[in-house]
Each structure stands twice: as structure tokens, then as C-alpha cells.
Chains A and B, each alone.
Chain A
């Protein structure tokens, strides 16, 4: 192989590594953690599903607060759009492609799962639910 090809290969690798798609470290690690926890609770677990995540995100729950029966109550109908919470504060889009810096801080992700699952579902979300939901948002 000549030097030019090497340079192109190197450039492509660097571009991918430093592009949003490349900085997957913390996200992947968090998904792995959720996967392990899910597998421990259910050995038949075979992987997260963006489709299940979408269902979780859009369905209405009865156990949470009356003004936020669904995730979409604050986050809006489309993950690619901004949302607004009951206090009037604007929320950046949840879709990773629109907000590429999201989900890279596991502690922050956990903090918001803890708050929002309680408000919407009236309980904590399971590792399976968290993994499915994250998988869905990362795909958007």
C-alpha cells in the first residue's frame, strides 16, 4: 500500500474516533451495565430494543404525577424536537443526533432516570427499561 492510502486510512480513523459516533465510551459502558443487571434478573434477556424503548417513551402511565402521564408530556412528541417542563423550562431534544453531547455522563443519566421515572411511572425504571430507552434515543 502506498503512503497516500495510509494517510487516508489514518484520517478516516481519526475522523470516526473524534466524531460524535466515535465517543461511545461512557454510553456503551452504561448500556453494558444495564445489560448485565438485566441478564442477572432475567437469564433469557437477549438484548435491548429501540422499539421497546419507543413504546416506553410514548405510552401513558397511571402511577405517576397527573400532569406527566408520559415521557412525552415534557419531552414532546418527537425525540428530535425540544420539550418543555411544567415549570416552563425548555428541554433540549433527546435524540442523540440532534443533541450529540447527551448521555455521555452516566451519573447525570441515572439522576434523570431516577427523577423522571418516579414522576411519570410512579416507580424506578428497571435496568431493562433504561437500556431500551437509551438504545432508542441513541438511534434517533
Chain B
């Protein structure tokens, strides 16, 4: 029996190429970060701002933040300790270096393991992506702060940051 080497070789090449391509493909490209899916986490963390996607920070950051709720960026965000533990687990499990890796890996480039960034807006990749936004836009009354993702990213609550 004659083995059809050429078709097999071509088939393997096509297969390998497709796998490479499709493995990296995802809806929203590299600008999709799954929104918080746990209702309790969404309610508490979303009390005052968009419940930021856990895949945007490493687990160590979430852990540190949840341990310092009394001084949460200048506010006392403390809650019931049992609830805090629940929320912390969820964030840590879905962090950029945990289950959220496939989404957050690119965003966390340039951040070494010893860093414990607390502000998504200070991540090198974030700064780079937003470097063309003028100061006056941040100060606009509908925006007010860099933490207000939804001011410009209208679909941020669903995880999309493509605009």
C-alpha cells in the first residue's frame, strides 16, 4: 500500500497551524476579561465601582486588598469577615495568574512576581493602552477617575474593552 505522505504532511501542517491560530482566538480578542460571575462578589465589590474582573490582577494583589478593606484606597470598605473570605477566595481563584490566566496574562506583562500591584490603572500594559487619553478627559464630570472603566468602555460590565 502506498502511503500518501504529501497529503498527510499537508494535513498535519494545516492542523498545527489551525490549532495555533484557534488556540489564541477568543471573542473580544485580548481585550476580554470575564466579568465577576458570583452575585455576592458582584454586589459587594460593585457597591461603589465596576466590580473589576479578577483576571486583571494577580492573586497576591487580591489577597492583599481583601486584607486591607478598612483602608481601601482611602475608604473604609470593611464587610463581614466571613463574606470577605468568600469574596477573597473567588478573586484569588480567578486571578490573572490562576484561572484567569488566559485572559490576564497579556495585561500582566512586565509585572514581576514580587510586585503586588493594587491598581489595575498602574499596570504597565494599562498605562500603555491609555497613554493617548488626554488629562481633560479623565477630569470630565462623566468620567472623573481612571477607575471608571464604563465611562468609555460601555460593555465593560460584560467583559469587553474593545473601544
Contacts and interface: CB of A to CB of B under 8 A. Distances in A.
B89 to A, nearest CB: 21
For chain B, what secondary structure do more than half of its interface residues adopt (helix, strand, loop), or is it mixed?
loop
B74 A87 contact: no
Contacts, number: 31
Interface magnitude class on chain A: under 10
A115 interface: yes
Contact of B76 (A85, A87, A115): A115
B82 to A, nearest CB: 14
A65 B48 CA distance: 15
B142 interface: yes
A118 B50 CA distance: 22
Interface in B142-163: 142-145, 147-148, 150-151
B75 interface: yes
B64 to A, nearest CB: 20
A48 B38 CA distance: 39
Contacts of B77: 115
A124 B49 CA distance: 23
A85 B148 CA distance: 11
A86 B148 CA distance: 9
Interface of B: 48-50, 74-77, 142-145, 147-148, 150-151
